Amino acid sequence: MKKCDLDTPSLLLDLDVFENNLKTMRDFAAAAGKKLRPHAKTHKCPEIARRQIACGNCAGICAAKLSEAEALAAAGLPDILITSPISAPNKIARFAELNRRVENLQLTVDHTMQIEQLAASASADNPIHILIDVDPEMGRTGVAFNKALEFVDATGNLPVPLHLRNAPTKLMKELGYGDGYKYAHNYASNFVEQEYLPKEISTQKFWEPSNNTSEQKLAQRMDEIRQKK
């Protein structure tokens, strides 16, 4: 077959160059004592992602959007990190469902409202793993890193509230783990008043919307959710 016989669009790779790039990235990270987590948003191809992981020294794969993560998961790829926060209720529901099917699925968050929504969709048999999205002064998404660092230094390692903790053992149940937890889907509109943060930081905010259009849309959506509560 010749290139002119291929349909368009077609993804064509020089395998020698491609594999050399994989090894170069792997060795560069390994020399620094780090593991790679390549971003699939650049190629959106499960087979390339699979080869990136197979090359070695790889902690998993990144996806920019929920839909990209769903496509990677459908191809059988585990250990996916979604690097953009989500807040729309339908996407929260889709993420919760995907979380049941993907080993070590993770999501970035940059606001307590997102944590509340995700916590409402989590359960003892479907815990959700999150990472704080830090803003490297690009003004897009993320927590202001100076404020976050100051906050961590000031508060230290705060305990997870008892009512949010799983209770897989008799001792944990006796200690009150999970007592009083409210499952949001048992309430009207899937919203419930419940504290998801340690009491020491229940009013803490790391992000305030700027005049950026996308941030204003997110702020509007948060206001709508608060009104429903």
Q: What is the pLDDT of residue 36?
A: 92
32 located within any domain: no
68 located within any domain: no
195 located within any domain: yes
C-alpha 162/C-alpha 17 separation (Å) is 53
41 located within any domain: no
Q: Are 133 and 215 in contact, with CB atoms under 8 Å apart?
A: no
Q: Each residue of 163-186: pLDDT tens digit? A: 999 888 888 889 999 899 888 788
177 located within any domain: yes
Overall number of domains in the chain? 1
More confident of the two residues 98 and 225: 98
What residues does 123 pair with on adjacent strands? 126
- DSSP letter for each residue of 119-154: HHH-BTTB--EEEE-EE-SSSSSSEEHHHHHHHHHH
Contacts 24+ apart (CB under 8 A), 140-145: 140/212, 140/214, 141/84, 141/85, 141/108, 141/110, 142/108, 142/110, 142/207, 143/110, 143/206, 143/207, 144/206, 144/207
118 located within any domain: yes
Q: Each residue of 17-63: pLDDT tens digit? A: 999 999 999 999 999 999 999 999 989 999 999 999 999 999 999 99
Closest CA to 199 of 229, 164, 161: 161
21 located within any domain: no
Report the amino acid identity of residue 90. Answer: N
Across 16-20, 89-93, 137-141, 169-173, which has the greatest mean pLDDT?
16-20
58 located within any domain: no
Q: CB within 8 A of 76, min separation 6: which ones?
A: 46
Q: What is the pLDDT of residue 217?
A: 82
Question: What does each C-alpha distance from 35 to 57, 81, 118, 134, 190 come to in angstroms?
Answer: 5, 14, 28, 19, 39
Q: pTM score > 0.75 for this model?
A: no
Q: Which residue range forms the structural domain that includes residue 200? A: 85-224
The confidence band for 144, taking pLDDT boundaries of 50, 70 and 90, is low
The pair phi, psi for residue 144, each rounded to 5°, is -60, 115
Q: Are 55 and 26 in contact, with CB atoms under 8 Å apart?
A: yes
- DSSP letter for each residue of 179-229: TT---GGGSGGG------S-GGGTT--S----S-HHHHHHHHHHHHHHHH-
Q: What is the pLDDT of residue 197?
A: 79
The confidence band for 97, taking pLDDT boundaries of 50, 70 and 90, is very high
